[in-house]
Amino acid sequence: MQTPIRICVAGVTGWVGTELVRAIGAAPDLELAGAVSRRAAGQRIGGVTVRASLEEALEAPADVVIDYTRPDAVKGHVLLAVERGVAVVVGTSGLSAADYDEIDAAARSRGVGVVAAGNFSLTATLMQRFALLAAPHVGDVEIVDYAGPGKPDVPSGTARELAERLEAARMPGGDTTLPVDRLSGPVETRGAAIGGTRVHSVRLPSYVLSCEAIFGMPGERLVIRHDAGSSADPYVGGTLLAVRRVGGITGLVRGLDTLMFGPEGAAR
């Protein structure tokens, strides 16, 4: 019988973390080996004692750390796990392209894998893949991300990841939008430039998480959009797919679509 993959969940009492514990407990090839939550430290969840820090939780052997914590904590968690030789699946948003470069270098030096995605939902993954397929053919694109009023990071991890990845995929010289230094009025109304793509973040009640890539050409427009509901279920399956594959990776793989289809889009 195959030895279960031992998982430490950081953010175990969070929206996604709670559902992950249930799914891990129901999977014969997975085992909850550690849990991190400062507010629940000392409690028993999923058969393990919750620790206040990842450093404490990793005193128990683990094969993979799943991080669904906070933007100000995730980078330290990833680098700590990598230094310990533990693979990581990152579902927390807020990391920059420079952060991912540092994580990739650290993971390669230690010979471990990291899978990071702004969104582990299958349909969000397809939205990103379809946008990347369109980018070489349509030069003008902007991103709008939507979330509730309490979401602290802007843009969302989904939007940031898509913007940074679009830069490498876009048609060279295809952007016809007037540069912001030639505009009159508050330039902030044009959104932020992330990876060369304008990104706009809407934060209002009634939204959960949505992201759209808007491609424009003379006389026509293409909108590729993903909308999430209020359940964390869509993120669980993709996260555990990454958990099952990250052990065969060295370095950083960014985007669940890359893990599923490869960098060129060929299905695996």
CA dist 237 and 252 (Å) reads 20
Average pLDDT over residues 60-70: 97
| φ, ψ dihedrals at 73, nearest 5° | -115, -25
- Read off the pLDDT of residues 114-135 as tens digits, 9 standing for 90 and up: 999 988 999 999 999 999 999 9
pLDDT tops 60 at residue 37 = yes
Mean pLDDT (the chain) is 93
What 3-state DSSP class applies to 98?
A: helix
Residue 3 per-residue DSSP state: P
Domain 5-116+231-261 has CATH 1.10.10.10: no
Number of C-beta neighbours around residue 95 at 10 A:
22
Domain 122-228 has CATH 3.30.360.10: yes
CA dist 28 and 244 (Å) reads 12
Number of C-beta neighbours around residue 246 at 10 A:
22
pTM here is 0.80
Token reading at 122: 């299958």
CA dist 75 and 151 (Å) reads 19
Q: What does the domain layout of the chain look like in residue ranges?
A: 5-116+231-261, 122-228
- Read off the pLDDT of residues 136-179 as tens digits, 9 standing for 90 and up: 999 899 999 999 999 988 999 899 989 998 988 887 777 888 88
Q: Do the Cβ atoms of 201 and 159 come closer than 8 Å?
A: yes
